[in-house]
């Protein structure tokens, strides 16, 4: 039996990086997946690839900062699969700047994509899960949601909010048999990480080289994080809720 056989899942930010790896892994492990992303070409390609590999997937165009888009994405899961069991709130952005350099517009956008999206997707997903007897939600936080980081004020604030929102949701919805957990990646080889190098005016190779300075001496892969997400939404973690799982090669230690 595959780990999430017969489950219905939404993964946000699934067009690339960690979201793509999570969508592909969940599908390979038996889930029917809604691939949600703003980038239609990337999202459609991920969904098509899953189908070509024998899995079940549909694409949903979704700006996770939009209430209407989040509601439509949940409705897509209901229409296509009859319900929803798993929600991976993965979409995120980063602005590398301190509070002085960050504009109000940048602050608002980081908060909207990284925090408000978790609220909105969960707001519409939880009643559907509860009506079906329960479910599992995984929010993507960050190591910088547990400690501070340089030149990333809005990102650190947003990910700290995700960590504590996870705890609050776990408390509120445990009686509905809905488990809510948070995965906190360290530096992971995604386009977002490479974009950070450009924001800071550094060469990608130099920036990524710094990411291996941790006990396991390598940068993370999207699949490293996807495996942790799979654990948190599967029955293997059936008594795990309200927790934060750090996946960073020992960096935070």
Residues recognised as catalytic: 155
Sequence-ordered alpha helix ranges (H) in 34-182 = 40-52, 67-81, 104-111, 117-131, 153-173
User: Coil, strand, or helix at residue 230?
Assistant: helix
Burial class (CB in 10 A: 0-12, 13-18, 19+), 235: exposed
In angstroms, the first-to-last Cα distance of the chain is 35
Helix runs in the chain, H state only: 17-28, 40-52, 67-81, 104-111, 117-131, 153-173, 191-199, 204-210, 222-233
CA distance 18 to 11: 10
CB count within 10 Å of CB 171 equals 12
Query: What are the CA-CA distances from residue 127 to residues 71, 74, 195, 241 (Å)?
Result: 12, 10, 36, 18
């Amino acid at each position: 039996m595959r780990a999430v056989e017969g489950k219905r899942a939404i993964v946000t930010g699934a067009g690339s990086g960690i979201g793509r790896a999570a969508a592909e892994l969940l599908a390979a492990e038996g889930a029917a997946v809604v691939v949600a992303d703003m980038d239609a070409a990337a999202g459609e390609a991920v969904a098509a690839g899953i189908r070509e590999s024998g899995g079940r997937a549909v694409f949903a165009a979704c700006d996770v900062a939009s209430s209407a888009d989040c509601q439509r994405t949940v409705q897509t899961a209901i229409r296509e699969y009859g319900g929803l069991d798993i929600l991976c709130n993965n979409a995120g952005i980063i602005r590398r700047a301190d509070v002085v350099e960050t504009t109000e517009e940048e602050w608002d956008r980081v908060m909207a994509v990284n925090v408000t999206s978790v609220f909105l997707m969960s707001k519409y997903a939880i009643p559907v899960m509860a009506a079906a007897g329960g479910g599992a939600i995984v929010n993507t936080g960050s190591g910088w949601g547990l400690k501070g980081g340089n030149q990333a004020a809005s990102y650190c604030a947003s990910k700290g909010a995700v960590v504590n929102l996870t705890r609050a949701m776990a408390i509120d919805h445990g009686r509905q048999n809905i488990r809510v957990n948070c995965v906190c990646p360290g530096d992971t080889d995604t386009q977002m990480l490479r974009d950070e190098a450009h924001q800071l005016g550094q060469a990608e190779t130099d920036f990524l080289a710094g990411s291996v300075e941790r006990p396991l001496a390598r940068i993370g892969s999207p699949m490293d994080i996807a495996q942790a997400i799979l654990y948190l939404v599967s029955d293997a973690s059936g008594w795990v809720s309200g927790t934060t799982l750090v996946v960073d090669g020992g960096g935070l230690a």
